[in-house]
Amino acid sequence: MIRGRRGYDRGMASRASTNDAAPARTVGAEPVRAVERACAVLNAFSLETPKLTLVDLAQRVSLPKPTAYRIASTLVMAGFMIQGEDGRYSLGPRLMELGAVVGQNLDVVRSCASAVDAIADATGETVILAEPDWEAGEIMIVARHDSPHPLSVLSPVGRRSPIPPGAFGKALLSALPEDARGSMLSRLRLKKLTSQTHTSRKELLAELAEAHDRGFALEQEEFVEGVSGVAVPVLFDGTRPLATIGIVGPSSRLSERDLLKFGSILRELTKSL
């Protein structure tokens, strides 16, 4: 989010559920029911609902309250969850530690780390690295370098958002082959998120072609009021967009001229990836 203003993207939290009456699962090809339930409990939390009562937790994972309590208590003892003085549960610090391990070992994060740092130094804005989930039509933030400016944009690592016609989504789509570009765009639900959101598929296809030729995509308050950005696709093998790197910042600081300048910097600093 912009500190003191609005968040850059809206998360989509996936929630798993399980049935207490389901038959026990065997170890091997099928998941272990106890582990499956524990995962469902952890997946019940999201950025929108970071704290849950036991009743809410049991309802979200379709488990009896005593079963949910036993699982939650075990996860609390292991450090994967904590219970506050008000009795509500939230995710614990052990998950943060494991998340840092995951982040450091992601190939895309390691491969792009030097470029992310270089872009941050060159622009002074918040730099975001994200991976697409084409099947789900989503983007997940896998790394972020925060801007030193007091007024800046923050988006949590791990947040998933639908691929919209914003800078990051347009950068990814622009790197697809032309026929795949149109096919993917036809699958997206183009909602009017702000007064500047582009929802005409015909106009978007023309904009994607322009972004493809230019090497980067722009947005000016298309996703969140007051926020602008620019992003480039990261191809790695030269053919498929496997990630996107971009910068976001308050529109009061990022004019179209700034975005074009930063787009050229992004293109230059990522061309060797």
Per the structure, the count of domains in the chain is 2
- Report if residue 7 sits inside a domain: no
* Dihedral angle, C-alpha 249, 207, 264, 137, nearest 10 °: 60
Q: Are residues 150 and 244 in the same domain?
A: yes
- Report if residue 201 sits inside a domain: yes
- For 243, the domain range is 106-270
Indicate the pLDDT class of residue 18, thresholds 50, 70 and 90: very low
Q: Residue 173: pLDDT above 80?
A: yes
CATH number at residue 215: 3.30.450.40
Q: Residue 106: pLDDT above 60?
A: no
Summarize the confidence of residues 219-231 as an average pLDDT: 92
Query: What pLDDT, in 10s, does the model give residues 132-151?
Result: 888 888 888 888 999 888 77
| pLDDT of amino acid 15 | 33
Lowest mean pLDDT among 12-21, 34-43, 68-77, 163-172: 12-21
97, 119, 136 — which closes off a domain? 97
Residue found by looking up tokens 């270089």 in the block: 118
Residue found by looking up tokens 């930063």 in the block: 262
Query: What pLDDT, in 10s, does the model give residues 43-101?
Result: 898 877 889 999 999 999 999 999 999 999 999 988 888 999 899 998 888 776 666 55
Handedness of CA 85, 86, 90, 96 (dihedral sign): negative
Burial class (CB in 10 A: 0-12, 13-18, 19+), 258: middle
Helix (H) or strand (E) holding 227: strand 227-234
Q: How far apart are CA 52 and CA 22, in angstroms?
A: 24
Give SS3 for 77: helix
Residue found by looking up tokens 């989509």 in the block: 12
Handedness of CA 106, 172, 13, 41 (dihedral sign): negative
Q: The whole model's pTM is what?
A: 0.64
Q: Which of 20-24, 198-202, 212-216 has the highest mean pLDDT?
A: 212-216
The average confidence (pLDDT) of the chain is 82
Q: Which residues contact 214 (CB under 8 A, 6 or more apart)?
A: 263
48, 70, 97 — which closes off a domain? 97
**Percent of the chain's residues with pLDDT above 70:** 81
- Report if residue 60 sits inside a domain: yes
97, 130, 149 — which closes off a domain? 97
Closest CA to 189 of 224, 162, 217, 211: 162
| pLDDT of amino acid 8 | 41
Q: Are residues 113 and 81 in the same domain?
A: no
Q: Which of 163-172, 238-247, 254-263 has the highest mean pLDDT?
A: 254-263
Q: Are residues 56 and 161 in the same domain?
A: no
